[in-house]
Amino acid sequence: MLEHVPRWLGGLMTNVRAGHAKLAIVQEDVARGAGFIELSSPAFANGSRLPLRFTADGEGVSPPLVWGDVPEGTVSLVLLVEDPDAPAPNPLVHALVWNLPPTERRLAEGEIQADGIGGPDGRDVGRNSYFLEGWLPPDPPPGHGAHDYVFQLFALSEAIDVDDNPGRSEVVSAISGRVLAAGMLVGNYSRDEPAGSENAAEVPFPVGGARIQTA
């Protein structure tokens, strides 16, 4: 949908961004003091450009994800994917999955999709920022520059009690104080511009001593 935004308008909004400081994973009451989970994708490297097939300009399927061991005592996992470069007050939610089993170590390509009341193992796909279940393919406005798509995985000490189809704010509130460990993976995408930024700045990331680059 945003591919139809005129390039001149996207250029005018270049400095209008939600901001990496609003990502769920860097909120003080969410992952403070948590351990580290190694989160990666066989389809793209951390900090690199997302392949076209995972965006609104391609097939629009969700990318495959894999992760390492989680801490003892983990009861469930939550995955949240946000775009902090969206020209909006808050990061745009591209995917939300909760109640992933603690034994799970991967999501296959295209697996993040509408699932109604959820899977037989308890996992459930929530609403993205377009109020639909499933993966919201990256669709940055032309002329707006590179956008980061931040995949955040949280290992929880207890299951969360949320509505049947919760949004970001309800889930973030529910996981606060329950995060044993977290992992982060960043892919970026832009229209008509090279990926990356010449004016990158660092924002502290409280999990595992890592840091992220912000455009």
Residues of the chain with pLDDT under 50: 5-10, 12-13, 195-215
pTM for the full model?
0.85
Q: What angle do CA 89, 27, 103 make, to 5 degrees?
A: 115
- Residue 207 has a pLDDT of 45
Q: What pLDDT does 1 receive?
A: 53
SS3 of 168, please? Answer: helix
Beta partners for 92? Answer: 83
Cβ pair 34, 180 in contact under 8 A: yes
CATH number, domain 2-214: 3.90.280.10
The confidence score (pLDDT) of residue 5 equals 47
- Report the pLDDT value the prediction gives residue 81, as an integer from 0 to 100: 98
pLDDT on residue 121:
86
* pLDDT score of 167: 84
Identity (one letter) of the amino acid at 130?
Y
In 3-state terms, what secondary structure has residue 9? helix
Beta partners for residue 147, in sequence order:
189
